[in-house]
């Protein structure tokens, strides 16, 4: 059985990685052979994370670059000889991959050995028999060695075909699959912590949590100038990164571009996407994008059968991609004429706050998980999601065993007042039939604070919580 764990990693700023390192260190200390598969989009920080994990351990780190099977076997032989045998055998080449794995197993008979095969799909492309060979050697030899073997890769679709092959060939063994998601807001804000609080939210809405994207931000320059210099500039990699991301996984991305643009502009229901793109078979492309972790389908958190729900909405997972399909793609003709400032001032800045509202909701979502699992909510959250019907929506529904908190997140320049609480209480009556056993609490998250009247009401009631922007960003 494959264990799937979602973890977040960084690249240029390797900090706050205690929990992520703990996952691998627990397996390192398990005292038995372990096989780990790490997959995640390119630039999410896999290589940097693994390098940091390996730095104080006996380890062999090998990048499976583009090249022939012989070239990769020769290069890996050099790495193995350098680490295990010194200069005497530095130029010796193992004749077969069986010999490679045999040597690794032999070297792991004593001290724990970590072996990383980074971008493993490249090796599979060059030598398709490598997976059966690895399985055979694992079952014959490696499973008894003091070995931690890590296979990592950025090509999501390729990794999804490799994992079942490994799992089927290793009955009774557990392959640990870690899928690396982008950084949370709390981690990402380290790249722009000099910004005032509202611009920190806007920066996260623009760049998302991919470390390589965040690393281009100049924290001494305003967010507006950073957008102009790093995304709207034809000479920078973020100008065309979205196109590269799709072309890496998809041979003909035209239909996928149309769908992602439709979602980015607010067409989130299946019928809306079909109408916007003119594609009756849009669901096929949506499923493919979900498998690539580029979009997600969400349903009201109270749905008993989410997969069968007709109320599903689609949204782009990565904030940078959402920004690119919302603002860059439709304005490419202007941007190609090097008038990025015109696009910034007329197309982006008037819409940036409306665009950032979804990111604020996600930041609040992360915040409630953090305070929930650390005991700062009145109950332990079992799930957090959204709720909506045809006319109403509640931004966050935090479900515990016998208690639920309904939360609206308002990215508005107006302070929230008692009318906002009354509206949330009205919507609570609509969702209450789905939560008959739950005691209901209320929460309001605000960009611009609260009226004195609402603060007094919350002070008098035990079932109302007010969460200001500084409180949320502080975590």
For 366-426, the DSSP string reads HHHHHHHHTT-SSS--SEEEEEE-SS-EEEEEEE-SSEEEEEEEE--SS-B-HHHHHHHHH
pLDDT at residue 322, as a whole number:
98
Q: Residue 5 has what pLDDT?
A: 42
Once rounded to an integer, what is the mean pLDDT over residues 109-117?
96
Task: Give the range of the structural domain holding residue 160, as residue numbers without chain letter.
Answer: 2-181
Claim to verify: residue 248 and residue 374 sit in the same structural domain: no
Residues 200, 174 share a domain: no
Identify the CATH number of the domain in which residue 207 sits.
Answer: 1.10.10
Same domain? 230 vs 159: no
Are 255 and 370 in a shared domain? no
Residues 388 and 444 in one domain: yes
- Residue 10, pLDDT > 80, answer no
| Mean pLDDT across 214-224 | 96
Q: The domain spanning residue 463 has which CATH number?
A: 3.40.1350.10
**430 pLDDT more than 90:** yes
Question: Given pLDDT bands bounded at 50, 70 and 90, which one contains residue 16?
Answer: low
- Render pLDDT for 354-387 as a digit per residue (tens, 0 to 9): 999 999 999 999 999 999 999 999 999 999 999 9
- Is the pLDDT score of 45 beyond 70? yes
Token code pair at residue 164 = 């079942």
- 289 in Cβ contact with 296 (< 8 Å): no
Domain's final residue, options 356, 388, 418: 356
Residue 228 and residue 177 share a domain? no
For residue 441, the SS3 value is strand
Residue 6 has pLDDT above 70, yes or no: no
Q: CB-hemisphere CA count at 13 Å for 44?
A: 25
Mind listing the pLDDT tens digit for each residue in 229-287?
A: 999 999 999 999 999 999 988 988 999 999 999 999 999 999 999 999 999 999 999 99
* 133 & 238 share domain: no
Domain end position, chosen among 356, 372, 394: 356
Q: What is the pLDDT of residue 89?
A: 78
How many structural domains are present in the chain?
3
Whether pLDDT at 8 is above 80 = no
pLDDT-derived band at 173, boundaries 50, 70, 90: low
**Average of per-residue pLDDT across 68-93:** 89
Q: Is the domain of 269 the same as that of 155?
A: no
Q: What is the mean pLDDT of residues 45-70?
A: 93
pLDDT of 330 over the 80 cut: yes
Asked if residue 472 lies in contact with residue 363, where contact means CB atoms within 8 angstroms, the answer is yes
In the predicted structure, residue 431 carries a pLDDT above the cut 80: yes
* CA angle in degrees (0–180, nearest 5) for 71-72-78: 95
Q: What is the pLDDT of residues 278-320, one digit of tens each?
A: 999 999 999 999 999 999 999 999 999 999 999 999 999 999 9
Q: Distance between CA 278 and CA 258 in Å, rounded?
A: 9
The yes-or-no verdict on residue 227 having pLDDT over 50 is: yes
**Can you give the pLDDT at residue 172?**
67
| Model pLDDT, residue 454 | 99
Query: How is residue 32 written in tokens?
Result: 């038995």
Cα–Cα distance list, 95 to 87, 304, 375 (Å): 19, 56, 57
In this structure, the answer to whether residues 375 and 413 fall within a common structural domain is yes
What is the percent of the chain where pLDDT is above 90?
Answer: 85
- What confidence tens digit (pLDDT) does each residue in 125-153 have? 999 999 999 999 999 999 999 999 999 99
Q: Assess whether pLDDT exceeds 80 at residue 14.
A: no
- Is 443 found in the same domain as 323? no
Read off the pLDDT band of 455 (50, 70, 90): very high
Question: What is the distance between the alpha carbons of residues 66 and 61, in angstroms, rounded to a whole number?
Answer: 16
The CA-atom distances, in angstroms, between 334 and each of 134, 226, 257, 322, 324 are 52, 18, 19, 19, 14
Q: 115 and 25, same structural domain?
A: yes
Instruction: Look at residues 117, 152, 181 and tell me which one is the last residue of a structural domain.
Output: 181
Query: Among 282, 213, 292, 295, which Cα is nearest to 43's?
Result: 213
Specify the range with the lowest mean pLDDT, choosing from 136-140, 226-230, 450-454. 136-140
Whether residue 136 sits in one domain with residue 150: yes
Q: pTM value?
A: 0.92
- Is 171's pLDDT higher than 80? no
**pLDDT (0 to 100) of residue 181:** 87
């Amino acid at each position: 059985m494959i264990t799937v764990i979602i973890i977040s990693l960084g690249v240029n700023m390797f900090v706050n990685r205690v929990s992520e390192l703990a996952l691998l260190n627990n397996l390192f200390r398990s005292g038995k052979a372990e096989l780990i598969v790490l997959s995640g989009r390119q630039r999410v920080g896999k290589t940097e994370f693994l390098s940091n994990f390996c730095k104080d351990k006996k380890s062999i780190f090998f990048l499976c670059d583009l090249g022939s099977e012989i070239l990769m076997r020769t290069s890996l032989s050099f790495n193995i000889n350098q680490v295990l045998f010194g200069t005497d055998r530095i130029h010796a080449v193992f004749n077969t991959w069986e010999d490679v794995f045999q040597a690794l197993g032999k070297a792991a008979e004593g001290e724990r050995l970590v072996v990383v095969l980074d971008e493993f799909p490249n090796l599979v492309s060059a030598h398709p028999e490598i997976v059966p060979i690895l399985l055979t050697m694992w079952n014959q030899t490696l499973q008894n060695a003091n070995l931690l073997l890590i296979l990592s890769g950025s090509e999501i679709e390729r990794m999804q075909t490799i994992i079942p092959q490994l799992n089927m060939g290793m009955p009774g063994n557990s392959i640990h699959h870690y899928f690396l998601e982008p950084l949370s807001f709390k981690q990402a804000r380290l790249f722009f912590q000099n910004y005032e609080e509202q611009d920190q939210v806007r920066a996260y809405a623009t760049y998302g949590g991919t470390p390589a994207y965040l690393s281009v931000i100049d924290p001494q320059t305003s967010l507006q100038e950073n957008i102009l210099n790093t995304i709207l500039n034809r000479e920078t990699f973020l100008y065309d990164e979205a196109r590269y991301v799709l072309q890496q996984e998809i041979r003909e991305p035209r239909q996928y571009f149309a769908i992602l643009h439709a979602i980015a502009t607010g067409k989130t229901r299946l019928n809306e996407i079909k109408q916007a793109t003119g594609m009756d078979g849009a669901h096929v492309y949506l499923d493919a994008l979900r498998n690539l972790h580029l979009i997600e389908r969400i349903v009201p958190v109270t749905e008993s059968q989410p997969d069968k729900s007709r109320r599903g909405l689609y949204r782009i997972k990565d904030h940078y991609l959402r920004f690119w399909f919302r603002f860059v793609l439709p304005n490419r003709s202007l941007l190609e004429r090097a008038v990025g400032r015109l696009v910034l001032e007329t197309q982006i800045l008037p819409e940036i706050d409306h665009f950032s509202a979804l990111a604020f909701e996600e930041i609040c979502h992360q915040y409630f998980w953090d305070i929930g699992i650390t005991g700062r909510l009145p109950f332990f959250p079992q799930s957090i999601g959204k709720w909506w019907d045809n006319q109403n929506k509640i931004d966050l529904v935090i479900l515990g065993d016998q208690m639920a908190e309904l939360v609206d997140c308002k990215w508005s320049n107006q302070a929230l007042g008692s009318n906002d609480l009354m509206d949330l209480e009205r919507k609570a009556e609509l969702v209450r039939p789905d939560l008959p056993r739950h005691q209901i609490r209320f929460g309001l998250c605000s960009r611009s604070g609260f009226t004195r009247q609402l603060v007094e009401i919350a002070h008098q009631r035990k079932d109302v919580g007010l969460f200001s922007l500084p409180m949320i960003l502080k975590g």
